[in-house]
């Protein structure tokens, strides 16, 4: 019988390795692509599916006869074929414990854009100090922030935004007006939120319902000159083209992105030549504290499953019955 192991699709820290090695040795795949992963499934009882490059699809799940649990380090699970895992009665555990870091990242992107921090930095470095009189910065105070998706992250952003004396609008079909009121948020339809907001921040999961939700038509309904922030999933925006067009036309005055429809994105796309784009490589939620919490939660839940116990966070809990 082959030796049992736990396979991580990308490097992980010592914390989850120490927790998971209570059950079996942890091995890190040298590459996250399907061909590489398929050669490493013999004896694999658990997979840590780290990174959007690692697609845990039906063919991979069916090729792992000893697989008993899949762990995703974070709240998203669109890289895992949940239906295929459920058909095999394999629990998929997630770690929705780091929303604070993404919320901080979203407001950091917005603040950097509104206050023109990258531009100001460039003036100083280029010895153009006197040009400061040619520009002014924007404000958060007395402006309207629209938050699309009021789960853990969107709610956290709403709490942070309260400090700026902003008007906060929210759209989330699963959140009641009463819940919104408790967060200091006025609930609105998506079209109303887009039309009224100076700044829009996206915080919904990627699903068939949300894929391409922010498209050319919806951007056209936004307040002219609005700022759009996306730290959710790249696929909730139709394409990079619609963002580039919106910046070129002035419909959007700036865009902040931590996520992209395809990762890594094509950095030669014309969008990346526009100075009104501020972006990061899907790293704003990867803070020290966030990753510590994520790894501990995910690894503990994977161990629970492997020991026949119930995990805290499971996408398909019906397989636990």
Query: In the chain, which ranges are continuous DSSP H helix?
Result: 14-20, 34-38, 58-62, 82-87, 99-114, 117-125, 152-161, 177-182, 190-196, 216-220, 240-249, 288-306
Catalytic residue among 89, 263, 267, 309: 263
Active site residue 282: yes
Give the sheet arrangement for strand 26-28, strand by strand: 26-28, 5-8, 44-48, 69-71, 92-93
Catalytic residue among 50, 72, 276, 282: 282
pLDDT of residue 154: 97
Q: Consecutive 10-residue runs of the chain (321 residues): their mean pLDDT?
A: 87 96 96 90 96 89 97 92 97 95 98 97 96 95 98 96 97 96 97 98 94 98 98 97 98 98 95 98 94 97 97 97 76
171 bridge partner residues: 148
Which structure tokens are listed for 152? 């853990």
Q: Examine residue 264 and say whether the peptide bond preceding it is cis (omega within 30 degrees of 0).
A: yes
pLDDT of residue 43: 95
Catalytic residue among 5, 50, 233, 276: 233
pLDDT of residue 2: 62
Active site residue 263: yes
Which structure tokens are listed for 46? 């658990």
Active site residue 233: yes
Q: Which domains does the chain have, with CATH numbers?
A: 5-97+288-320 (3.40.50.720), 99-279 (3.40.50.720)
């Amino acid at each position: 019988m082959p030796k049992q192991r736990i396979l991580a699709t990308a490097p992980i820290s010592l914390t989850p390795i120490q927790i998971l090695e209570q059950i079996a040795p942890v091995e890190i795949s040298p590459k996250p692509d399907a061909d590489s992963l398929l050669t490493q499934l013999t004896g694999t009882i658990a997979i840590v599916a780290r990174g959007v490059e690692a697609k845990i699809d039906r063919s991979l799940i069916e090729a792992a006869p000893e697989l008993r649990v899949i762990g995703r380090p974070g709240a998203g699970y669109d890289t895992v074929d949940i239906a295929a895992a459920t058909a095999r009665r394999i629990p998929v555990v997630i770690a929705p414990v780091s929303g604070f870091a993404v919320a901080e990242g979203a407001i950091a992107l917005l603040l950097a854009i509104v206050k023109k921090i990258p531009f100001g930095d460039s003036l100083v470095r280029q010895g153009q100090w006197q040009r400061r009189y040619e520009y002014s910065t924007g404000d958060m105070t007395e402006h309207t922030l629209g938050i699309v998706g009021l789960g853990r992250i969107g709610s956290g952003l709403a709490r942070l935004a309260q400090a700026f004396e902003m008007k906060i609008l929210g759209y989330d079909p699963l959140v009641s007006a009463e819940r919104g009121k408790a967060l200091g948020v006025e609930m609105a339809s998506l079209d109303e939120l887009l039309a009224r907001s100076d700044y829009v921040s996206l915080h919904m999961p990627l699903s068939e319902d949300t894929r391409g939700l922010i498209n050319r038509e919806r951007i056209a309904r936004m307040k002219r000159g609005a700022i759009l922030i996306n730290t959710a999933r790249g696929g909730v925006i139709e394409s990079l083209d619609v963002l580039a067009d919106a910046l070129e036309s002035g419909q959007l005055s700036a865009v902040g992105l931590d996520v992209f429809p395809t990762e890594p994105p094509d950095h030669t796309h014309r969008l990346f030549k526009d100075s009104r784009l501020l972006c990061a490589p899907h790293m704003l939620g990867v803070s020290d504290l966030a990753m510590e919490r994520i790894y501990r939660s995910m690894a503990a839940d994977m161990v629970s499953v492997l020991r026949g116990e119930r995990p805290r966070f499971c996408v398909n809990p019906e397989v636990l019955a």
